[in-house]
Amino acid sequence: MWGYEPADEDYVVQGFDLSIEDIKEAHQEHAHCAFCYILNCTKVDICKIVACKYCKIKLHSCKVEDHENICIKAFSPCINSNFGCPEILRNELRGIHLSKCCASAVVCNLQWNREIIGKQAKRRMKQVARGFKKQMLDVELKENDRDELDVFAALDDQREIMESYRTFRQSRVRQRTACTPANPVLPLRFYDKMPRFPEDDSSDEEKFKELSEARMSDFHRKAFQYYWTREMHTFTCTAVMRRDEISNHWKYHTDVLQLIDGGIIKRCPSAPNGCDFYVRQLIPKNGGRIRFDEITRQFVYDPESVIPSSLHTSDATELGDFINPHILRLLLPFLDTASIRTLSSLNSRFCYLVRGLIHSRTLISIKWIRKGIKKWKFEAFERYFSNIPSVATLIPNVESNSSMATHIGICSFCERVDHSQNPESLKFMGDTFKEYLENEKKKSAEERKSEERLEF
């Protein structure tokens, strides 16, 4: 058996060597049809020659059912039909449709870190989250400027941290990993909010637990060799989007979120001392500005208005104009899904009109309900709009450097040093630089001498 090689007429399927005679014995009634590929076959005693109703190819009638499963012109449900896609299309278009399928959902797993200022700030955030203290003092009740994007980004992450502090500590500890041993990745995967908050702080409980578990041999390691900090938090995006929106969302991360601190917004070097001056280093190419939307919790592009202020009408009249389906049909293709989502949430009538006019840009996901402790049950398919904003092209602001240089000269928080009172520092710097130049000259002279010796 080891030296046996299947002949050309043998049919090999899943390790079984089936010859033509074996196949004919298994299908005696259609022995001829199984190996007939003649378009105008004359042996039609059992099965007639018919044409496929989709691709018009001729074949025996007993093969029609199997042929329709592989026919490229036949209609079949989408590959994601089990996930809620209702489309029925030709087989040759299923791969193309997959890139823009409404049920082909993708979850963003991009992560970033935030570090709390200190342990006192962490304690204060826990007390504010649990309602023991006010969030701000009276002197801190200052409205943030809309252009302070870095402040809004920090406040949004702070809101997520404070939301996690309203849960049980055991739930947060269970969700820690080897990469995040101090704090779990936010937002939490599963949690139960505490109905009543304890008056004691869980930060003290963390310290007591460390002391009770520590041994004398580990004291030095625990006290002086901690390579991670308890004030560092890791955040995950967890945005759900369609497959054709991945590039736009990734551009939103790289061009907006990662450039807010120090890229789009540049603050005075004396900002740690209390200076609140800042400039916008990057601005949209087509005018307008970038602002933070409190509803969608996203940084959106706010273009300049092309309508003069004298032509502005009341809100009621504008709302009545937009209810017209014809105007909505012309407007919606130019909006991103985050704007469409906000527009559809205005009222039930707008929701009905928007979903009916731009049904192809919706996203379908599965809604699960919890059944018992360890089971989940399918409830329904949800159709909604994703929360993915558009990204404007940013260009450098030519006025930012001059504004920053002018401000630094008059900044009241800038710590100025009078070197005439302490000239030793300048003298030391000068002597060090002179020694560096002398050493460089000596090295170059030695290299020249070595080259001359090699030439001789």
**Over pLDDT 90: what percentage of the chain?**
32
Residue 362: count of CB within 10 angstroms of its CB: 20
Tokens of 385: 């709009």
- 319 has pLDDT over 60: no
User: Nearest Cα to 382, choosing from 83, 3, 14?
Assistant: 83
Nearby residues of 149 by Cβ (< 8 Å), 6 or more positions away: 260, 264, 265, 290, 291, 292, 299
Check whether the bond before 325 is cis (ω within 30° of 0).
no
Task: State mean pLDDT over 274-297.
Answer: 90
pLDDT in tens, 193-214: 666 656 555 555 555 444 444 4
Mean residue pLDDT of the chain comes to 79
* DSSP H or E run through 241: strand 240-242
* DSSP H or E run through 159: helix 149-164
pLDDT in tens, 3-52: 444 444 444 444 345 565 666 666 667 777 877 888 888 776 778 888 99
Task: Compute, in degrees rounded to 10, the torsion defined by CA atoms 34, 37, 40, 42.
Answer: -40
- 444 has pLDDT over 70: yes
Tokens of 245: 């929106």
Distance CA 328, CA 308 (A): 22
User: What distances in angstroms separate CA 149 from CA 249, 279, 332, one per listed residue?
Assistant: 18, 11, 27
User: What distances in angstroms separate CA 183 from CA 94, 113, 128, 134, 214, one per listed residue?
Assistant: 44, 11, 19, 24, 20
- 233 has pLDDT over 60: yes
- 112 has pLDDT over 80: yes
Q: 166 with 194: CB under 8 angstroms?
A: yes
- 445 has pLDDT over 70: yes
Task: State mean pLDDT over 242-266.
Answer: 92
- 405 has pLDDT over 80: yes
Crossing angle of helices 149-164 and 119-129, in 10° steps, is 70
Phi-psi region of 116 (alpha: psi -120 to 50; beta: other; left: phi over 0): beta
User: Nearest Cα to 172, choosing from 164, 181, 162?
Assistant: 164
Task: State mean pLDDT over 283-297.
Answer: 90
- The pLDDT of residue 189 is 79
Strands 265-267 and 298-302, how do they pair?
unpaired
Least confident of 48-57, 242-251, 359-368, 421-430: 421-430
pLDDT in tens, 135-153: 654 434 455 677 889 999 9
User: Nearest Cα to 111, choosing from 190, 174, 165, 187?
Assistant: 187
- The pLDDT of residue 136 is 54
Nearby residues of 50 by Cβ (< 8 Å), 6 or more positions away: 58, 59, 60, 61, 64
- 407 has pLDDT over 90: yes
Distance CA 52, CA 67 (A): 8
- The pLDDT of residue 389 is 93
Q: Is pLDDT larger for residue 434 or for residue 293?
A: 293
Rounded to the nearest 5°, which phi and psi values hold at 89? -145, 175
- The pLDDT of residue 43 is 75
Hey, where are the domains in the chain? Answer: 1-73, 429-456
Distance CA 336, CA 330 (A): 14
Task: State mean pLDDT over 164-184.
Answer: 87
- The pLDDT of residue 441 is 78
**Over pLDDT 70: what percentage of the chain?**
72
Query: Residue 421 — very low, low, confident or very high, per pLDDT cuts 50/70/90?
Result: low
pLDDT in tens, 70-111: 999 999 999 999 999 999 999 999 999 998 999 999 999 999
- The pLDDT of residue 144 is 63
* DSSP H or E run through 25: helix 20-26
pLDDT in tens, 327-370: 888 889 899 999 999 988 888 888 888 888 888 899 999 999 98
- 252 has pLDDT over 90: yes
Q: 166 with 129: CB under 8 angstroms?
A: yes
- 248 has pLDDT over 90: yes
- In 228-290, which ranges are continuous DSSP H helix? 246-255
- The pLDDT of residue 223 is 42
Phi-psi region of 74 (alpha: psi -120 to 50; beta: other; left: phi over 0): beta
